[in-house]
Structure formats: C-alpha cells, structure tokens
Structure 1
C-alpha cells in the first residue's frame, strides 16, 4: 500500500511538471514565432523540461549512435513506444526543426491543445482513413517545404510491456518517408519497466539506454516497396531492442 501511494505522489509530480512545461510552450512559442524560429519551440521547451525532470527523478539517458540524430532534415525518426516517459526521451533527443504527430483528440484537451498549436504538431484522425491519408500527404509536403524532420511512434500505441517487445509498425511513417524520399532513422529505447511501470506502480531512479540506428535510405523506393521497408525496419529495431535490454539489465534500478 505504501509503495502504491508513493508511486501516485511521484507520478502526480511528474504530471504537474509536464503540464507546467506545456504551458511554458505558449510564451516561448510566441517569441520564437516572432523571431522566425517557430518550429524550434518543442526543441527548446523539451530540452528544458527533460533536463529538469531527468535530474529531479534521478533518471539518466545513455545514447548510442548520437551522430545519427544529426541526419539532415527532412528525416523521419521512428521510435518504439512504451509508456508516458517516451515523450520525455523524445524531448531529450530530438534535433531542432523536428515536429511530432499526435491524435486529433488532443485538440479537445485544455493546455495540451495550446501545446500542440505552439509546437506545430501534426494531428491525425485515425478513425477517418481518408483524413489520415490526406494528413500524411500534407506532412510529407510540409517537411519538404520547411525542411523539417518528423518524430513518430509507428506502433501507434503504447506497449506498456515489462519485456522488450515491439508491436506491429503502422504504415503512416513509411508513407511519409516514401512520399518524399526521406531517410528513416530508427530510435530504439530499451525496455525501461525497471524504472517506470504504471502497472507495477514503479517509479525509481535508473538509467535508460537508447540506440539511434543508421538511417535507412528510401530514395528510389516506391509505395510498392512499403511492406519490405516496414519489415526491414521492424527487424532492425526488434533486434536492437532485445540485445540492448539483455545487455543493460545491470543498470536496472541504478542511477549511476
């Protein structure tokens, strides 16, 4: 019982800080828009938020292959999706001029809708196939016009798994990449249920290892190559995820 209460307190603190940082995106976004850097709002607010939260909760992020984060825009960063703190890791990692993709439902959540607006996040209606297809085409076109990269979770939902696993990757990210000939940069985050698990009421200090894989080129590929591209990306990410989680189990629960 005590451990559950402690988890709820820590989780509430995490949520409160996250909401404050989202609110901060409003004035920061206005200033950056005025000076011509509106697409960097998520970068600056995210770096500040992630630095504060990581330090406060005793979390460390170890990155392998950081040089691939410098892949020239436009690029599509594809990350596995586990739980809430994926957003924190994204904020810690993502380069400048990188935007996200979220559910259209975010428009109806106070404060989150302001964050979506000021960080230039793309929104998709997954329940409407035609709208989703049109959104992906618009994303690909905007990336080319504005020289932006996209950070996306192609699994489409959180796995909430206590083991290193990868859900089937949806086609949206790959449709964007193929539509513009943009490289896909896989971002593999080890299973971090050792430090955060809502199911097990766990929120402890520790280390999360992340591996940025080399870009997968899509120039010269067509939509008919999508299934092969998805399978190739899946295999690379799953292999890295399993290997990392096995190799780094000694870090579980530690803050060193």
Structure 2
C-alpha cells in the first residue's frame, strides 16, 4: 500500500532536478496518479458513508460529504482547489453566488473542461445534489458502487428509451425529495486552452422543464494554466467558479427548450470570457458587454481585465 505514495513522492522530488520538459511530464504524472488514488479512496469512503446515511434517512447527503472529502484531500495533496466567486449579475431580482447554490431543487449545469472537473464538483455543489454519469461507470469498483448508492442518475447514451426513463425518474425525485441534479450539457470534455464552450445537448433542459425547476448555470474559469492535458502540464493553483442567477422554467414546455438552451449557453459563454479577464488570462478574447452586472462592479471587472 505504501508503493504508490512513495512512487508519487519520487516523481515530485526528481521533477525538481530534471530538465524543464521532463520535469513538466513527471509533475503531470504525479498529479494524475495522486488524483486517481485520492478519488478511489474517497469513493471507498463514499460506499460506507452512503450506506450509513441511507440507513438514517439522509441518503441525499452522500455525494456532498464525499465531494467535500475529495476537495480537502486534493487541496492537501496537490495544492489545487476551486473557489466560488460572485458574478455581480442580477436577473429578475435573483442573485448568483451562494444565494443561487442554496436554491432547491434545481438543475445545475456547468462547462466541462477536463477530468479535474470532478474536483470542481467537490468544491462547489451543495447538499442534496447528485450528478449524472454514463452507465458504464456503474460497474467501476468503488466509484461505481458509491455512485449507485448515492442517487447518481446513470444515462445510457446509446439507448434513447432508457435515457428518457432515467430522466423521468430523476424529475420525480427532484419534485418529491427536493434533490438537485448536476449535468455537464456539453456532454464531453473540451480540453480547451481558451474560454469556449462546445454545443449543448438538451437533456438537462428537458429535465428542468419536466420537473418545473430552475436552471442554475455554474461557470468555471478556463484553467489551462493550471492543468493542460494536451501539453501534459500541471501547476498548483486556485480556480474561480462563478454561479449565475437561477433561470426559471415555471410554465415552460418542451417547445421552449431550444430558447432555454440558447439563453443559458449565451450567459455562460459571456461569463466564461469575463472570468478569463478577471483571472488575468484573457487569451485575446474581447471582454463581453457585461449586461446585468451592477455598474460599480462592471467598472471594477473591466479595470481588472
């Protein structure tokens, strides 16, 4: 059992003396191994935590407690974490940030960059929240067991009928148990080195309309400067996450989903570009017109950009 940690320590030590390119690769390998081992250990903890929490009637907290364990473990072992920031936007009197995170039940939607988004979930999502995952993960030891015990919504992308049934069940759970659901509407990781989004799939929005619950967009700043999978590079750091105001779906029907998708994606892309300037890594993308941002905060954001 001491073998993997010692090997990771060895990689970190030799990265201090190796030439730059080799040091970058060994540092990346150390981070990757640390993340995998930490996730598996937290998933194992999650199996027992889920059984216990379900036995006492608090099964909806399973993913939250494991998420927080993963958050602090990764911060301790790798020096990387995500922090929630206030976007300054107001929509229909609703604010983002912590206020939006405490709204229940909702469908959270977020941009999907790399495998490290699992840590973003660990640092961000609130109590009584479950994720969606592809069905094949259900059979992964420890991780799949934990997910099955903690109300994960498994989606079989190859089977439209079973995918629809999974969303029907999720909508019912959301209404009766006030359980949130987190979905990455891009459907796959972008591995983007600049602030951009892939086209959105509609499943999350159909679910929100079906359950008649709000959509809360969560936008993670582009973090290629912290983890760049294409270049095999990793550097410790803190990554900003912006929670936008909830978008209501009350009274909407299936015919309104296309407009809901566009509204959400436009808001998220604008915020993603803004975050890239606030963090000092604008990548040459023009700062969007900050509609909905309070005037004093708008001026500050542009100065910081």
TM-score by length of 1: 0.94
Corresponding position of 1:7: 28
Corresponding position of 1:254: none
Q: Which moved more, 1:221-230 or 1:103-112?
A: 103-112
Corresponding position of 1:51: 72
Corresponding position of 2:118: 87
Instruction: Find the partner of 2:241 among 210, 215, 218.
Output: 210
Q: Is this contact kept in 2: 1:102–1:124, CA < 8 A? A: yes
Q: Is this contact kept in 2: 1:11–1:203, CA < 8 A? A: no
Instruction: Find the partner of 2:99 among 67, 77, 80.
Output: 67
Larger RCO (alpha carbons 8 Å, 6+ apart): 1
Q: Which moved more, 1:145-154 or 1:181-190?
A: 145-154
Q: Distance in 1 between matches of 2:233 and 2:98?
A: 28
The number of aligned residues is 251
Give me the CA root mean square deviation. 1.6
Q: Distance in 2 between matches of 1:113 and 1:87?
A: 14
Does the residue aligned with 1:249 lie in a helix, a strand or coil? coil
By how many angstroms is 1:118 displaced?
2.1
TM-aligned CA distance change 1:161 to 1:222, over 3 Å? same
**Does the alignment pair 1:22 with 2:43?**
yes
Matches within 5 A, 1:168-187: 168-187=199-218
By how many angstroms is 1:21 displaced?
0.5
Instruction: Find the partner of 1:155 among 168, 171, 186.
Output: 186
Cα deviation, 1:36-73, whole Å, max 9, x if unaligned, reads 111111111111210121233222423122221011x2
Does the residue aligned with 2:146 lie in a helix, a strand or coil? helix
Q: Is this contact kept in 2: 1:185–1:212, CA < 8 A? A: yes
TM-score by length of 2: 0.79
Q: Is this contact kept in 2: 1:189–1:209, CA < 8 A? A: yes
Q: Is this contact kept in 1: 2:60–2:150, CA < 8 A? A: yes
Q: Point out where structure 2 has 5 or more consecutive residues left out of the alignment.
A: 1-21, 86-96, 283-305
Cα deviation, 1:157-216, whole Å, max 9, x if unaligned, reads 111111111111111100110001100000000001110122111121112011000000
Q: Which moved more, 1:61-70 or 1:38-47?
A: 61-70
Q: Is this contact kept in 1: 2:108–2:218, CA < 8 A? A: yes
Corresponding position of 2:18: none
**Considering only CA atoms, is the larger Rg found in Structure 1 or Structure 2?**
2
Does the residue aligned with 2:141 lie in a helix, a strand or coil? coil
Matches within 5 A, 1:220-239: 220-239=251-270
Q: Is this contact kept in 1: 2:107–2:215, CA < 8 A? A: yes
Instruction: Find the partner of 1:188 among 219, 225, 243.
Output: 219
